């Protein structure tokens, strides 16, 4: 089991990996990324991650990189590291060029990756739930593209840390609930599970997609719809979802407890079903 980096085809120890100072990902945040987790030696929903990565590149007019090449190189790094429960970070920048806001049509994308054991969320947090706070969403207008432009997310997460809670939930100026700093959000309101529709204001999470499939199997009603902060405060259950987050119940939002202040049955059932899915990936 070895932690490794990949730089444009070369695999080496992470401590030895470097990129050019004129890489546009470093100077402009002109890069996209994905994070894939594995379970028991199998990457989870790799094809969906590749779909999203290729879409992100297309939305930013990046030169095309073939899907088969990306897949082969991801597996080459994964097999070399031999980490059963791995987290694979993939970043593609537009390329290296003299610093200039405008870019030419001869850019060569730079592909870098790292692989390490997944930094798991504490089992105690998954069992007991977490507390969160809310704040007005101040991110850029294309949160549906998975770019490295994450400074607002970083500041939101740090605000949560300073407040002694797990995360921050972004709320629009109109008080519409969006998502957390690195997770999608679901709320059980009445007998339905609600989550924000797929607009430019949230990222289409891969685990989010899996949850829709799971809810179909469990006969849980789930709906994409806009809902406001007052409805969130009154929800029976709230939970976050993400590649590392998996399913994480929320028991308190700002100064208000969610439901009875403990994880609810739907979140627990969905988490159990998610873990079952990983065995078939």
Catalytic residue among 42, 146, 162, 272: 146
Q: 29 in helix, strand or coil?
A: coil
Tell me whether residue 146 is one of the annotated catalytic residues.
yes
Element holding 3 (H helix, E strand): none
DSSP-derived letter for residue 262 is S
Q: What is the sign of the dihedral through the CA atoms of 107, 108, 114 and 115?
A: positive
Q: 233 in helix, strand or coil?
A: helix
d(CA 160, CA 52): 28
Other Cβ atoms less than 10 A from the Cβ of 116: the count is 17
Closest CA to 160 of 144, 183, 140: 183
Closest CA to 52 of 248, 279, 243: 243
Dihedral Cα 35, 38, 43, 45, nearest 10 deg: -60
* Residues designated catalytic: 146
């Amino acid at each position: 089991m070895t932690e490794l980096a990949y730089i444009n085809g070369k695999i080496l120890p992470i401590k030895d990996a470097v990129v050019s100072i004129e890489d546009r990902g470093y100077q402009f945040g002109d890069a996209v990324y994905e994070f894939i987790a594995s379970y028991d030696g199998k990457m989870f929903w790799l094809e969906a991650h590749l779909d999203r990565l290729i879409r992100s590149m297309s939305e930013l007019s990046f030169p095309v990189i073939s899907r088969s090449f990306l897949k082969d190189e991801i597996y080459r790094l994964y097999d070399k590291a031999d980490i059963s429960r791995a987290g694979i970070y993939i970043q593609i920048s537009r390329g290296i060029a003299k610093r200039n806001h405008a870019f030419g049509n001869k850019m060569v994308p730079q592909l870098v990756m790292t692989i390490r054991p997944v930094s798991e969320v504490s089992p105690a947090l998954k069992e007991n739930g977490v507390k969160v706070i809310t704040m007005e969403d101040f991110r850029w207008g294309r949160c549906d593209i998975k770019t490295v432009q994450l400074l607002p997310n970083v500041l939101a997460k740090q605000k949560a840390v300073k407040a002694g809670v797990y995360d921050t939930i972004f709320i629009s100026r109109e008080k519409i609930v969006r998502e957390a700093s690195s997770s999608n959000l679901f709320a059980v309101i009445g007998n339905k599970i609600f989550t924000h529709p797929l607009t430019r204001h949230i990222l289409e999470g891969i685990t989010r997609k899996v949850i829709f499939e799971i809810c179909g199997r469990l006969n849980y009603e789930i709906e994409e719809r806009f809902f406001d902060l007052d409805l969130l405060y009154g929800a029976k259950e709230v939970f976050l979802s993400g590649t590392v987050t998996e399913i994480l119940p929320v028991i308190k939002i700002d100064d208000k407890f969610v439901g009875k202040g403990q994880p609810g049955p739907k979140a627990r059932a969905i988490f159990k079903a998610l873990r079952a899915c990983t065995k078939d990936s």
